[in-house]
Structure 1
Amino acid sequence: MYKEENKNIARKSVLKAAIEALTLCRKDSTLAPKDYIRKVKAFYRKDESDPRAFIVDELSEETIIRWEEFYDSVIQDRTARSIKVAYLSGPNPENDLTEMTDMGLLPENIWAFESDAKIYNEAVISALSSKFPFIKLIKANVGDFFEVSPQKFDLIYLDFCGPLPSKKAGQKTLKAITSILKYHALSPLGVMITNVSLPSKEQNANEHKNIVNLVASYLYPKSTLESNNPEWNCTDGAISEGYSLDEWHKKVECEIEDFYGQYITRLLVDLISVISPYDNFTSSHSLYKNMFKISNYNDLTKSVNDLFHFDSNGNGGDIIVDSGLFPILWTIASIDKKYNNKDKNYYQDIYCDDDFNDYAQSFLSQMSANGNAHDLIKNISNMHFLLNEGRTENNFYSDSLRNLNKINWYQKVYPFCDLFLFHQI
């Protein structure tokens, strides 16, 4: 593995970038920089003719300083020696360990994981004969470890041998990422590096076909895609470009290497920002009950189901009409029979290809916090509906949320920062 020169170059490059993002460039890695609020004030003050300019007078120097002190208390300065890392071992854990210690990390802060018994034994022998006989080498799946350990890591490096997802026992790549998110194993300002494979038709024709089907279903509803233009890496999505379902599938099949990379990027972003938070925010949670009052779950279920399909009068079908607003739900309808219901507005591969249907269910179940595909779909669908606006979602608000909803906050409070605060993540 370490004889592959291109992989060595890529490994060094991503590790170096990750460590710099956590240390030297730490304050450039946050969603909101330290001087964000100060910049907001300066932006409006530079044009006195702007009717909004008077608003920034409400933003006092005391408030700005409080924000900056809060920022410093959360972010803090870090050096490479204080960075804590988890990575997948393989038979020679000392190879990655050498790379990381050469970049200034302490070997005592680096944890290696290996779930395969045979490879673990090889790794132990290899480590004991290296200059790192004291390495933390854990015989466990990295996701299973996070389930029972409160450890948090600044950098998690997942150099998988399989695709995303993989159905193989002991190599469920997507499940490992789900566990990291479920148990908050990554520090609030942390880096997760993933490396997955794409089997060719010659290596595994069936798995290759399943990946093509999944990637086509996942990217089709996205309103934008990557253009591969270094100046502006963004272009309209498949629907805006006028692709039919079949035309898009053929394009993805011909350019799978490119679209597979885009799929991985978008999936990880969706997992972190939408799928995992929505799945973990279940109806049994006390915070859920503070926000919503579901006296009749049949009414909620009907309201959610109406999003997926048109009725006989042409009502509903919001996910079909505005797929760019509901891309995750559109994909779900294309890969799950219950929500697809043989609606030709979605892909129908799950009905003519049993193997892909099984693969799609594995994909969904590996993203679920409890391993249940339909619990995942229910949680995500309900939250999409309840947190949206313009439909009947306010019928399910709790009394306290109804009262808050009556207050016109924009006439009473000036919001100068529209980004997440760190303690909210």
Structure 2
Amino acid sequence: MMYNQEVKRQSRELLINNAIDALTVNRFDSFLVSKEKLDKITDHFKGLFFKILNSKHFDAMNQLNWLIHGEKTNWYNFYDSMCQSKDASALKVLYLSGPEPLNDIEMFLNKGISLANIWAIESDKNTYQQAVSALIEAELPVKIHRGTLTEFFELTNHQFDIIYYDACTPFISPTSSPFETLKQIFLNNRLTGLSALITNFAEPKTNLNWGETLACWYASATEFQSPPIDFKLGWDEITKSTSLKDYGDYINKHLHEYYDYFLTQFISCFASEIIPIWQVFALSSVQSNFFWQEQELFKLLSTIKSEAPPTETMKDFIAMVQHYKLAVSAYPLLNWTRLSEELLGSNHVVNTFLHSKRKKMALGDALYLGSLLKSFEEGNSGFNTFTREICSPRFRELLIELDFFDRHLHLTCDIPMKNLIVELFFGLYGFPYVANTEQCLSLKYKAKETWMFSNCFIFDQCRYLYDYIPSPDLFKTFFSEIHHQVILRGCIDLIHRKHLELNPNFFKWGFVEGIGEEFGAYHLRQRRNLNEEMNQEGKIT
């Protein structure tokens, strides 16, 4: 076997093994919330609250203790109904066939996947015929479909535990883009509640200005989302966002480092925030009930995007300019959209995707609205935020009234803000897929002359949290009970903790206790260089 073929085989084996193990033998470590960890964090939270209550409140403490205990018992039963064990034989798998489909099938079968649960997809006619001939000769009656992944995910109703998307192209190119395929996976819930997505993308090519493309993303990124080389530049977010071409030149000099981080961070954010936000604002009933009618909403969007009028003093400028331009990293998805539209041109692949519509709602518009809603607290800042203007009067009043019981008690590591309530709202309707930092595997290898970047993401839809809460019109009654809030805060802490290094803006300010304390942190593993490992050891472990 040739060297390049061997390193590719080793990569596929590592990725497939990671996916199957995470969904079977390590399944209960793959859920972002476990009963044991929730019990520990909620007991800690309860203890913090009881410390500030003196003996005069003994009866109230005793009653609350029983209420929390009873609610946890109810929630554990609910959790058990949703989070169950699974054998490899029960996992349903889809992969891209290529002309030699037997290699992957052999790996799946060796790990216990049932032949009846394997789907293969191939779009090219000649390649498809080669694959069918190989399967007939091997007498392996799997399901092989001739067509594109995008159409298959859009128009069929199949759900898979594992999808292996071996794109073999750069993540973005002028002629092709995985945006549409990934969109259909997450928009149509083609992955199960606990699932694995394996991706494989080629290194960037020179037929696209990658520096400027990635500069629009990294200009509003946090430290967790940026490669170490970014800190050597020493620029703040304002400098980056107002000097995108120069920033892009710097990125081009260190393109592999930025591309490495981008693939992992962007796909995670795509699944947990970008698509769910779009889902919510495309749902006309949600739009009309909680925001504004279509015409009024688009008119408001036009105002939000407009340039501030000229001013004579800095004080007047700060009062007039949109807050998202002053606090760039506080509105990451909005500013990624804004900067991409300003710099890249309307025909760029990124902008084509941002301008694509679900019903009448463009993705980019949804990201503006979703980012503003998550910053609802900024409505009190005195800046020009629009965070409250986008809400209907009824929804605005609800968000103003709703709060966490310990908001002003300073019990926890983070002060719980209203963005946590907004995240619950998005989760209820948007069905996010939230990646587990600890279970994420990242690899790279050189095949022929091209570096390939592979990822295995383990996603949890966290329905044990989102389906636990009622619809928004009943939030007020639900939140009035402290024992409900204790369960919510425990789940939010654990989800934020296990997703932090992939998307720190998801459930931001959601910690009950810090990452340096007994509850710990979950770190993203560095991308493994398989060629380097093979050179050093003669094999890949």
What corresponds to 1:195 in structure 2?
Answer: 200
Distance in 1 separating the partners of 2:26 and 2:120: 26
- Which structure 2 residues correspond to residues 32-111 of structure 1 after superposition, within 5 A? 32-44=33-45, 50-51=51-52, 57=65, 59-111=67-119
Taking the aligned partners of 1:300 and 1:261, their CA distance within structure 2 comes to 37
SS at match of 2:103: helix
**Residue 150 (structure 1) aligns with:** 157
Q: Given that residues 24 and 85 in structure 2 are in contact (C-alpha distance below 8 angstroms), is that contact kept between their aligned partners in structure 1?
A: yes
TM-score normalised by length of structure 2: 0.65
Sequence identity percentage: 23
Task: Confirm whether residue 413 of structure 1 aligns to residue 481 of structure 2.
Answer: yes
Hey, what's the Cα distance between the residues in 1 that align with 2:230 and 2:32?
A: 20
Contact 1:158 1:193 in 2 (8 A): yes
User: 1:67: how far off?
Assistant: 1.4
Structure 1 partner of 2:273: 274
Equivalent residues of 1:27, 1:34 under 8 A apart: no
Cα separation, partners in 2 of 1:237 and 1:77, compared to 1, 3 Å: farther
Matches of residues 103-182 of structure 1 in structure 2 within 5 Å? 103-132=111-140, 134-168=141-175, 171-182=176-187
Partner in structure 2 of residue 257 of structure 1 = 256
Q: Which amino acid aligns with 1:38?
A: D
Residue 330 (str. 1) matches residue 326 (str. 2)? no
**Match status 1:290 vs 2:298:** no
Q: C-alpha displacement at 1:298, in angstroms?
A: 5.9
Distance 1:395 1:38, change over 3 A: same
Q: 1:284 to 1:104 in 2, by over 3 A?
A: closer
How far off is 1:226 after superposition?
5.4
Partner of 1:354 in structure 2? none
Q: Distance in 2 between matches of 1:378 and 1:152?
A: 29
The structure-2 alpha-carbon separation of the partners of 1:349 and 1:42, relative to structure 1 and needing over 3 Å to count, comes to closer
Aligned to 1:179, what secondary structure does the other structure show?
Answer: helix
1:340-396 Cα offsets, whole Å, 9 max, x none, are 2xxxxxxx454xxxxxx63x2x22334666489982222222332344311444344
Q: Which residue of 2 aligns with 1:404?
A: 398
2:310 match: 312
Gaps of 5+ in 1: 341-347, 351-356
Residue pair 1:87, 1:112 contacting (<8 A) in 2 also? yes
Greater RCO, CA 8 A, separation 6+:
2
2:362 is matched with 375
In the comparison of the two structures, how many residue pairs are matched?
A: 390
CA RMSD of aligned residues (A): 3.3
CA pair 221-392 structure 1, distance change in 2 beyond 3 A: closer
CA contact (8 A) 2:173 2:207 kept: no
8 A contact 1:160–1:195 mirrored in 2: yes
Match of 2:300 in 1: 300
Cα distance between partner residues in 2 of 1:191 and 1:27: 14
SS of the counterpart of 1:296? helix
Q: Deviations over 1:262-296 (max 9, x none)?
A: 11112112211222122222355212222123473
Seen in structure 2, the aligned counterparts of structure 1 residues 371 and 237 have a Cα distance that, compared at 3 Å, is farther
Measure the CA separation in 2 of the matches of 1:311 and 1:273: 36
- Is the CA contact (8 Å cut-off) linking 2:291 and 2:297 kept in structure 1? no
In the alignment, structure 2 segments of 5+ residues that lack a partner are: 55-60, 312-316, 380-384, 406-479, 496-541
Structure 2: distance between partners of 1:70 and 1:331: 38
Whether the 8 Å CA contact 1:93–1:123 is kept in 2: the answer is yes
Give the TM-score of the pair, scaled to structure 1: 0.81
Q: Is the deviation greater in 85-94 or in 214-223?
A: 214-223
Q: Is the 8 A contact 1:146 1:180 kept in 2?
A: yes
Task: Report deviation, 1:155.
Answer: 0.8
Amino acid at match of 2:153: F
Q: Distance in 2 between matches of 1:110 and 1:14?
A: 17
Counterpart contact for 2:337–2:367, Cα < 8 Å? no
Q: C-alpha distance in 2, partners of 1:59/1:311?
A: 55
Cα deviation digits, residues 303-349 of structure 1 (max 9, x gap): 4215xx4432322232321111122222222222xxx2xxxxxxx45
Give the 3 Å change call, closer, same or farther, for CA 82–379 of structure 1 in structure 2.
same
Identify if the C-alpha distance between structure 1 residues 166 and 250 changes in structure 2 by more than 3 Å, giving closer, same or farther: closer
